[in-house]
């Protein structure tokens, strides 16, 4: 059944191919005859295929068979098995001449027989076999034989060339050292000289009828001597010592050219062979596939076992169907790019090339050569194609993904670098302003947040000759980077609250916000922010779970003053935050640290000395412990906070806090404290003292009641929000206000001084006035009786 | 607005009942107007808070705080340096707050002192601190460490007599350069003008470090300066005394001597004498109390064993800790219910 199927296919194929080849194979015009040929071939081939596996083996087989020719039994059997071919040499010739169709038949048969592996597709091989057949028909005599067979069947053929008688000479294995003189045989069509010792091609120039010339396995080193054979269709020169392809100028009818196993280094001088269908150059020293243009009919090209590393011009072969490139030196698919351009190619072998070892080899080939039906002897199924498609897509995706990743990595690196550069610039700016004046020091204009225009901090580098007096302690310029490792060792929290979360997150770094000069990324429980712009990541909507997973936040290349306004947001958004890390954030003064009191909870605080001058102050740790006492810090810069530390801090700063809490005017406290505490204080003030003037003792008591929390709360660092409210407007308003106040006070003073003057004047006049009043009274009362009467009268009058 | 709010120095100089001066002169001299104006400005700026607080009460508290010298706490630098009284008050507050640092004997750097000053006055400029540090360190590098008392007295001199010292510096430089100091224009009190002079001084320092000037000449010039100087200055006798001690004097050695001069310290009246600098038993007592509180209730949110009143205050005072505390309790209670569940099963 299998054979039938294969046969059917072969027939179908052949008939379809027959139309194409008909002009090339004038002898195969009869359909009937042709069919019989095919029929005879198929079983025979099947038999042969079973013991022949590759090209070399095939030649060997043919050689052994040739050697076994003397064995009559075997030959007998052969003849029985293929009666037609033996009986009718015409058929042989037909099959010979129509080598290409036969080839396709053989391949069709192979397609049907998936079991057969690594068959030889070379037409040459087929021809060896036919030549073998020829020798068989010639019989075992092995003598120089002249055999002219006027084929009766051939007379039926319309072709003129075969109407006349043809002749053949078979001189296989005669140890000939020279070409025989064939002077009179002008009509010779077939000449077989294989397996001899011929070194030069001679005495053939007059055989202008010669169609088939077989010089397989000789010692020929040059192709000269064949120039005149203009009728030649098949030329077999395999297994010789030829170095150059030449002398083919007039052989324009050549159908089959076999030059396998020679020493040819270059494909050349062939572009005029427009009828050439099969070219076998296997086993040579060719390094490039080139000069193929013009071979318009070439359907099969065998280049196995060369040193080919570059394949070109294959796309210029419009009829090429089979290309064999096994065992070459093709390393990358780029070298095969032109295969993709060929739309006729259906079979391809590439095994034995370095490129075939690649994992994506098959898929890549299939993707590139769309019409391929067979690759390395294996039929391409739809499944293969589909897989290739899927794989290709997958690969593409993977590639894109990895590309994206590398791009992202690069972007990340760049962002961090730019942030660092910008930071350097900003810092350089920050170090300069003290030269401008005392007040500038704290003014917000100098903070980097107010100079967003400087995107590439380089432009902001100060000129080197600028006097820089105010630099000691504020940190020398250090190359940025390199602290990452140190950071990493510290960044792990002591006790991750949910180990599962940490595990899940540690592998994947999720980038939240990325631009060319900032980066915000989430690595498990660690949120890293590089550059000022990264703070925007805190603004965006966070999932409850994601935000809850964050326990560590790292700031780098961000000015601390710019971070402060975000602290209340951090407090709300990240309830589980337990560790803050500041790298190069320009924390330079103790009051800045007070701003950290705004976070909800903090177990660890890390402030790297790099870019944070505050760490060089001896008191910073004490101050942090004192000020952030309510957070109950466990570790500062990786060092555990002990009870002794707390007490020492209290000893240093306790007085300050106490004085601040107890002696600051109450009204002033109202301004200094944050909202919640302010309300407490107000409550306390309302409840306690409705009366205006509180005695100092009472004030002191109040202070005590407010407690130590208050004393600490007083040291807060103003976030920029409140200090930088529109300076122009503020100054205008304040100057107006100042003028108003001045006027008001002047009036007040005027009145007061007037009153004072009057008082002084009164003071001066008073003694005399008093004396006058006394005198008047005395005078009035001098006459007591009269005074009494007058007084009585006054009384009675009034009543 | 009683006279008693003003520093004793002023009250002795002018008397209300001394009718030879006008009211305006008196007011200008006594800075009453300055405080009034500031009080009103503050009131207007923070209308809401203060009207709730009570305007009368506000004024009363404001002026009593001026009298008690604690009005400078947490105020802006321009206010602190505005009057002599404010300066002296600030120096005193600084001493009281950070006396413990002197007591512990720690040596601190200029930047550290600056940070401490900024705790009390957030916008305290670094220049004053630098100048003070230079008085202490003389020729040493500016980032050397200083003891608390050295720095404090130098700071007092620099801060209190800021304008006068600037003028002296100009005179000194002119003397060094061989110019006639009589042509010297006395700089106004703006602190910005101080900068170039400091810068110039730095350059000069390299050249004329060793040679000072003739003390007698300098004394004459300073004497002349005092005649026309509007701002406060150290008493002439003290300066003369200092200048008579050596035969060559440089600017910073003069300042160093002035800073250590006991009479000047007494005149300013902000700090005790050097011998008593670290003694403040009242504060020590308070501090001991505070430390006791801390050690009684270590980390204060874990145990409730603190004194009842104190604990209550703490709760009130720190709502944040309260939240934290509550959360912990919740966690604990969760755990306990689980335990009971498992025991039942």
Which chain B residues are within 8 Å of A738, Cβ to Cβ?
37, 41
What integer pLDDT is reported at residue B159 of this predicted model? Answer: 92
Q: Two tokens at A431?
A: 């170090």
Chain-chain contact of B290 with A654 (C-beta, under 8 angstroms) = yes
Nearest CA in chain B to A620: B112
- For A151, list phi and psi in degrees, rounded to 5: -70, 120
Q: Two tokens at B277?
A: 């600098």
How far is Cα A670 from Cα A86, in angstroms, rounded to an integer?
123
Radius of gyration of chain A (CA): 54
Length of chain B: 345
Best of B3, B310, B316, B319 to disrupt the A interface (most A CBs within 10 Å) is B316
Identify which of A617, A677, A749 has the shortest CB distance to residue B27.
A749
What integer pLDDT is reported at residue A309 of this predicted model? Answer: 86
Average the pLDDT over A411-415 and give the result.
83
DSSP B76-96: -HHHHTTSHHHHHHHHHHHHH
What integer pLDDT is reported at residue B141 of this predicted model? Answer: 76
Q: Check CB contact of B307 with chain A, cutoff 8 Å.
A: no
How far is Cα B236 from Cα B213, in angstroms, rounded to an integer?
18
Average the pLDDT over A344-373 and give the result.
81
Residue A77 has pLDDT above 60, yes or no: no
Question: Is there a contact between A89 and A149 (Cβ–Cβ < 8 Å)?
Answer: yes
What integer pLDDT is reported at residue A686 of this predicted model? Answer: 58
Chain-chain contact of B96 with A665 (C-beta, under 8 angstroms) = no
What integer pLDDT is reported at residue A750 of this predicted model? Answer: 87
What integer pLDDT is reported at residue A116 of this predicted model? Answer: 37
Residue A415 has pLDDT above 50, yes or no: yes
Q: In whole angstroms, how far apart are CA A256 and each of A119, A251, A744?
A: 19, 11, 120
Q: Is residue B211 very low, low, confident or very high in pLDDT (cuts 50, 70, 90)?
A: low
Q: Two tokens at A99?
A: 């080598």
Identify which of B123, B128, B192 has the shortest CB distance to residue A437.
B192
Under 8 Å CB-to-CB from A283, ≥6 apart: which residues?
A260, A261, A262, A304, A305, A306
Q: Which residue has the higher pLDDT, A47 or A354?
A: A354
Question: Is there a contact between B290 and A654 (Cβ–Cβ < 8 Å)?
Answer: yes
What integer pLDDT is reported at residue A766 of this predicted model? Answer: 92
What integer pLDDT is reported at residue A166 of this predicted model? Answer: 57
How far is Cα A782 from Cα A793, in angstroms, rounded to an integer?
18
Provide the pairing of β-strand A519-523 with A212-214: unpaired
Handedness of CA B122, B128, B132, B137 (dihedral sign): positive
DSSP B249: B
Identify which of B62, B100, B118 has the shortest CB distance to residue A665.
B62
What integer pLDDT is reported at residue B36 of this predicted model? Answer: 87
Identify which of B23, B46, B320 has the shortest CB distance to residue A753.
B23
Burial category of A237 from C-beta neighbours within 10 Å (exposed 0-12, middle 13-18, buried 19 and up): buried
How far is Cα A24 from Cα A32, in angstroms, rounded to an integer?
18
> Could you read off the pLDDT of A754-799 as tens digits, one per residue?
898 899 899 999 999 999 999 999 998 888 899 999 999 999 988 7
Nearest CA in chain B to A659: B97
What integer pLDDT is reported at residue A12 of this predicted model? Answer: 45
Q: Two tokens at A133?
A: 């057949």
What integer pLDDT is reported at residue B180 of this predicted model? Answer: 64
pTM to 2 decimal places: 0.56
Among A428, A593, A583, smallest CA distance to B118 is for A593
> Which residues 93-122 of B are in CB contact (within 8 Å) with A?
93, 96-101, 104, 106, 108-112, 114-116, 118-120, 122
Q: Is residue A375 very low, low, confident or very high in pLDDT (cuts 50, 70, 90)?
A: confident
Nearest CA in chain B to A735: B41
What integer pLDDT is reported at residue A420 of this predicted model? Answer: 83
Q: Check CB contact of B195 with chain A, cutoff 8 Å.
A: yes
Residue B91 has pLDDT above 90, yes or no: yes
Q: Check CB contact of B64 with chain A, cutoff 8 Å.
A: yes
Among A285, A335, A340, smallest CA distance to A310 is for A335
How far is Cα A104 from Cα A38, in angstroms, rounded to an integer?
11
Among A555, A557, A488, smallest CA distance to A524 is for A488
Most confident of A61-65, A507-511, B98-102: B98-102
Residue A435 has pLDDT above 50, yes or no: no
What integer pLDDT is reported at residue A302 of this predicted model? Answer: 92
Q: Tokens 């704290």 correspond to what residue?
A: A442
Provide the pairing of β-strand A322-324 with A519-523: unpaired
Distance from CA of A540 to the nearest CA of B (A): 25
How far is Cα A648 from Cα A144, in angstroms, rounded to an integer?
122
Q: Check CB contact of B338 with chain A, cutoff 8 Å.
A: no
Distance from CA of B61 to the nearest CA of A (A): 7
Residue B75 has pLDDT above 80, yes or no: yes
What integer pLDDT is reported at residue A278 of this predicted model? Answer: 92
Chain-chain contact of B291 with A654 (C-beta, under 8 angstroms) = yes
Chain-chain contact of B74 with A618 (C-beta, under 8 angstroms) = no
Question: Is there a contact between A520 and A511 (Cβ–Cβ < 8 Å)?
Answer: yes
How far is Cα A516 from Cα A739, in angstroms, rounded to an integer?
49
Average the pLDDT over A741-753 and give the result.
87
Residue B125 has pLDDT above 70, yes or no: yes
Residue B321 has pLDDT above 60, yes or no: no
DSSP B146: B
What integer pLDDT is reported at residue A306 of this predicted model? Answer: 92
Identify which of B40, B104, B287 has the shortest CB distance to residue A745.
B40
Best of B62, B94, B119 to disrupt the A interface (most A CBs within 10 Å) is B119
Residue B250 has pLDDT above 90, yes or no: no
Question: Is there a contact between A91 and A37 (Cβ–Cβ < 8 Å)?
Answer: yes
Question: Is there a contact between A448 and A428 (Cβ–Cβ < 8 Å)?
Answer: no
Q: Which residue has the higher pLDDT, B340 or A551?
A: A551
What integer pLDDT is reported at residue A775 of this predicted model? Answer: 94
pLDDT, averaged across chain A: 69
What integer pLDDT is reported at residue B156 of this predicted model? Answer: 92
Q: Is residue B291 very low, low, confident or very high in pLDDT (cuts 50, 70, 90)?
A: confident
How far is Cα B339 from Cα B345, in angstroms, rounded to an integer?
10
User: A100-104, A635-639, A642-646: which range is least confident on average?
Assistant: A100-104
Under 8 Å CB-to-CB from B163, ≥6 apart: which residues?
B187, B189, B231
Average the pLDDT over B32-45 and give the result.
87
What integer pLDDT is reported at residue A558 of this predicted model? Answer: 86
Question: Is there a contact between A597 and A623 (Cβ–Cβ < 8 Å)?
Answer: no
Q: Find the DSSP H helices in A589-642.
A: 590-593, 620-627
The total of other beta-carbon atoms located within 10 Å of residue A672's CB is 19
What integer pLDDT is reported at residue B303 of this predicted model? Answer: 35
What integer pLDDT is reported at residue B297 of this predicted model? Answer: 56
Query: How many helices (H) does chain A have, and how many strands (E)?
Result: 25, 22
Handedness of CA A254, A258, A263, A265 (dihedral sign): positive
Q: Is residue A692 very low, low, confident or very high in pLDDT (cuts 50, 70, 90)?
A: very low
Question: Is there a contact between A318 and A158 (Cβ–Cβ < 8 Å)?
Answer: no
What integer pLDDT is reported at residue A432 of this predicted model? Answer: 52
What integer pLDDT is reported at residue B21 of this predicted model? Answer: 66
Residue B68 has pLDDT above 80, yes or no: yes
Q: Check CB contact of B62 with chain A, cutoff 8 Å.
A: yes
Q: Find the DSSP H helices in A628-673.
A: 643-663, 666-672
What integer pLDDT is reported at residue B288 of this predicted model? Answer: 85
Chain-chain contact of A709 with B46 (C-beta, under 8 angstroms) = no
How far is Cα A429 from Cα A411, in angstroms, rounded to an integer?
26
Q: Which residue has the higher pLDDT, A117 or A562?
A: A562
Q: Dihedral (C-alpha) A385, A391, A397, A403: value to the nearest 10 degrees?
A: -120
Q: Which residue has the higher pLDDT, A542 or A30?
A: A542
> Could you read off the pLDDT of A170-228 as tens digits, one per residue?
888 888 888 887 767 777 888 888 888 888 888 888 888 888 888 899 998 888 888 88
Residue A550 has pLDDT above 60, yes or no: yes
Residue A476 has pLDDT above 50, yes or no: no
Average the pLDDT over B218-235 and give the result.
83
Average the pLDDT over A534-538 and give the result.
82
Which chain B residues are within 8 Å of A434, Cβ to Cβ?
126-127
Q: Two tokens at B300?
A: 């204060």
How far is Cα A64 from Cα A267, in angstroms, rounded to an integer?
31
Average the pLDDT over A34-60 and give the result.
41
Q: Find the DSSP H helices in A440-596.
A: 484-491, 499-507, 536-539, 544-549, 560-563, 567-573, 590-593
The total of other beta-carbon atoms located within 10 Å of residue A391's CB is 18
The H or E element that residue A682 is part of is helix A675-688
Chain-chain contact of A589 with B127 (C-beta, under 8 angstroms) = no
Q: Tokens 């400029």 correspond to what residue?
A: B125
Distance from CA of B345 to the nearest CA of A (A): 27
Q: Is residue B17 very low, low, confident or very high in pLDDT (cuts 50, 70, 90)?
A: low
Q: Which residue has the higher pLDDT, A468 or A743?
A: A743
A257 phi-psi bin (left φ>0, alpha ψ -120 to 50, beta other): beta
Under 8 Å CB-to-CB from A14, ≥6 apart: which residues?
A34, A38, A101, A104, A105, A108
What integer pLDDT is reported at residue A100 of this predicted model? Answer: 39
The H or E element that residue A2 is part of is helix A2-21
What integer pLDDT is reported at residue A333 of this predicted model? Answer: 77
Which chain A residues are within 8 Å of B192, Cβ to Cβ?
437-438
Chain-chain contact of B98 with A656 (C-beta, under 8 angstroms) = yes
How far is Cα A666 from Cα A664, in angstroms, rounded to an integer?
6
Question: Is there a contact between A670 and A681 (Cβ–Cβ < 8 Å)?
Answer: yes
Which chain B residues are within 8 Å of A748, Cβ to Cβ?
36
Under 8 Å CB-to-CB from B98, ≥6 apart: which residues?
A655, A656, B116, B148
Residue A655 has pLDDT above 50, yes or no: yes
Length of chain A: 799
Average the pLDDT over B100-117 and give the result.
86
ipTM exceeding cut-off 0.90 for this assembly:
no
Q: Two tokens at A714?
A: 């007083």
Average the pLDDT over B189-197 and give the result.
43
What integer pLDDT is reported at residue A768 of this predicted model? Answer: 93
Chain-chain contact of A667 with B62 (C-beta, under 8 angstroms) = yes
């Amino acid at each position: 059944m299998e054979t039938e199927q294969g046969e059917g296919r072969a027939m179908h194929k052949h008939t379809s191919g027959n139309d194409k080849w008909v002009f090339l194979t004038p002898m195969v015009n009869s359909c009937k005859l042709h069919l019989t040929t095919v029929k005879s071939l198929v079983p025979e081939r099947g038999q042969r295929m079973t013991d022949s596996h590759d090209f070399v083996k095939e030649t060997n087989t043919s050689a052994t068979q040739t050697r076994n020719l003397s064995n009559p039994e075997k030959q007998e059997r052969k003849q029985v098995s293929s009666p037609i071919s033996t009986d009718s040499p015409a058929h042989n010739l037909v099959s010979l001449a129509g080598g290409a169709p036969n080839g396709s038949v053989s391949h069709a048969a192979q397609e049907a027989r998936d079991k057969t592996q690594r068959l030889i597709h070379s037409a040459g091989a087929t021809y060896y076999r036919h030549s073998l057949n020829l020798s068989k028909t010639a019989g075992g005599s092995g003598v120089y034989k002249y055999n002219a067979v006027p084929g009766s069947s051939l007379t039926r053929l319309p072709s003129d060339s075969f109407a006349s008688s043809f002749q053949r000479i078979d001189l296989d294995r005669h140890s000939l050292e020279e070409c025989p003189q064939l002077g009179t045989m002008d009509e010779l069509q077939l000449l077989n000289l294989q397996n001899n010792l011929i070194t030069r091609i001679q005495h053939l120039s007059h055989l202008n009828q010669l169609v088939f010339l077989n010089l397989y396995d000789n010692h020929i080193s040059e192709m000269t001597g064949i120039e005149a054979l203009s009728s030649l269709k098949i030329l077999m020169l395999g297994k010789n010592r030829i170095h150059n392809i030449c002398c083919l100028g007039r052989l324009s009818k050549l159908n089959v050219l076999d030059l396998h196993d020679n020493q040819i280094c270059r494909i050349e001088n062939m572009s005029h062979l427009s009828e050439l269908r099969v070219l076998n150059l296997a086993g040579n020293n060719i390094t490039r596939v080139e000069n193929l243009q013009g071979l318009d009919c070439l359907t099969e090209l065998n280049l196995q076992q060369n040193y080919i590393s570059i394949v070109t011009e294959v796309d210029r072969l419009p009829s090429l169907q089979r290309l064999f490139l096994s065992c070459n030196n093709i390393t990358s698919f780029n070298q095969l790019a032109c295969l993709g351009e060929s739309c006729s190619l259906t079979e391809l072998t590439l095994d034995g090339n370095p490129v075939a070892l690649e994992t994506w080899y098959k898929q890549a080939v299939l993707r590139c050569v769309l019409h391929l039906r067979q690759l390395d002897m294996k039929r391409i199924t739809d499944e293969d194609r589909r897989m290739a498609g899927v794989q290709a897509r997958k690969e593409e995706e993977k590639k894109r993904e990895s590309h994206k990743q590398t791009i992202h990595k690069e972007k990340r690196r760049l962002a961090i670098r730019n942030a660092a550069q910008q930071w350097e610039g900003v810092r350089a700016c920050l170090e300069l302003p003290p030269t401008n004046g005392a007040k500038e020091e704290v003014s917000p204009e100098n903070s980097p947040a107010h100079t967003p225009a400087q995107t590439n901090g380089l432009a902001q580098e100060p000129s080197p000759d600028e006097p820089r007096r105010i630099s000691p302690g504020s940190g020398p310029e250090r190359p940025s980077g390199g602290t990452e490792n140190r950071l990493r060792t510290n960044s792990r929290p002591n006790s991750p609250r949910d180990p599962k979360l940490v595990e899940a997150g540690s592998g994947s770094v999720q980038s939240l916000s990325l631009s060319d000069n900032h980066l915000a990324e989430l690595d498990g429980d660690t949120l890293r922010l590089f550059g000022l712009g990264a703070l925007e990541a805190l603004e965006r909507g966070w999932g409850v779970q994601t935000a809850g997973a964050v326990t560590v936040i790292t700031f780098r290349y961000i000015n601390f003053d710019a971070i402060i306004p975000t602290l209340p947001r951090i407090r709300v958004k990240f309830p589980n935050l337990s560790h803050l890390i500041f790298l190069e954030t320009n924390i330079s003064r103790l009051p800045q640290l007070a701003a950290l009191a705004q976070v909800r909870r903090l177990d660890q605080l890390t402030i790297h000395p790099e870019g944070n001058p505050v760490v060089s102050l001896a008191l910073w740790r004490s101050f942090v412990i004192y000020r952030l006492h309510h957070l109950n810090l466990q570790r500062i810069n990786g060092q555990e906070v002990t009870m002794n530390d707390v007490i020492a801090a209290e000893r240093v700063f306790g007085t300050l806090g106490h004085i601040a809490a107890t002696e600051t005017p109450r009204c002033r406290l109202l301004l200094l404290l944050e909202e919640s505490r302010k309300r407490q204080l107000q409550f306390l003030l309302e409840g306690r003292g409705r009366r205006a003037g509180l005695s100092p003792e009472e004030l002191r008591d109040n202070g005590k009641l407010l407690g130590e929390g208050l004393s600490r709360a007083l040291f807060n660092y103003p976030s920029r929000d409140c200090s930088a409210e529109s300076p122009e407007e503020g100054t205008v308003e304040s100057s107006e206000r100042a003028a108003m106040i001045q006027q008001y006070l002047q009036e007040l003073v005027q009145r007061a001084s007037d009153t004072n003057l009057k008082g002084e004047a009164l003071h001066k006049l008073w003694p005399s006035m008093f004396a006058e009043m006394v005198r008047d009274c005395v005078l009035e009362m001098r006459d007591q009786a009269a005074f009494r009467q007058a007084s009585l009268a006054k009384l009675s009058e009034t009543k | 607005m009683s006279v008693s709010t003003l520093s004793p120095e002023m009250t002795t100089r002018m008397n209300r009942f001394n009718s030879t001066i006008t009211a305006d002169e008196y007011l200008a001299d006594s800075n009453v107007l300055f405080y009034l104006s500031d009080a009103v400005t503050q009131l207007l700026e923070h209308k809401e808070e203060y009207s709730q607080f009570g305007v009368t009460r506000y004024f009363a508290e404001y002026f009593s705080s001026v009298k008690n010298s604690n009005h400078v706490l947490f105020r802006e630098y321009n206010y602190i340096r505005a009057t002599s009284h404010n300066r002296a008050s600030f120096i005193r507050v600084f001493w009281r707050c950070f006396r413990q640092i002197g007591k512990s004997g720690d040596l601190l750097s200029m930047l550290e002192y600056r940070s401490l000053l900024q705790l009390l006055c957030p916008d305290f400029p670094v220049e004053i601190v630098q100048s003070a540090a230079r008085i202490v360190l003389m020729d040493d590098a500016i980032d050397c460490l200083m003891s608390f008392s050295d720095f404090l007295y130098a700071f007092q001199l620099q801060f209190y007599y800021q304008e006068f010292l600037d003028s002296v510096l100009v005179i000194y430089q002119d003397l060094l350069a061989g110019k006639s100091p009589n042509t010297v224009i006395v700089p106004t009190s703006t602190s910005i003008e101080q900068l170039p002079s400091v810068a110039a001084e730095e350059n000069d320092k390299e050249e004329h470090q060793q040679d000072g000037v003739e003390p007698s000449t300098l004394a004459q010039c300073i004497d002349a300066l005092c005649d026309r100087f509007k701002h406060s200055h150290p008493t002439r006798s003290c300066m003369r005394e200092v200048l008579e001690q050596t035969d060559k004097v440089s600017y910073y050695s003069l300042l160093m001597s002035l800073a250590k001069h006991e009479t000047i310290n007494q005149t300013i009246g902000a700090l005790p004498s050097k011998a008593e600098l670290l003694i403040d038993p009242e504060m020590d007592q308070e501090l001991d109390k505070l430390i006791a509180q801390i050690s009684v209730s270590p980390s204060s949110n874990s145990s409730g064993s603190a004194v009842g009143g104190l604990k209550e205050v703490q709760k009130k005072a720190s709502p944040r800790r309260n939240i934290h505390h509550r959360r912990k309790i919740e966690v604990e209670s969760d755990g306990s219910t689980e335990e009971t569940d498992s025991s039942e099963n």
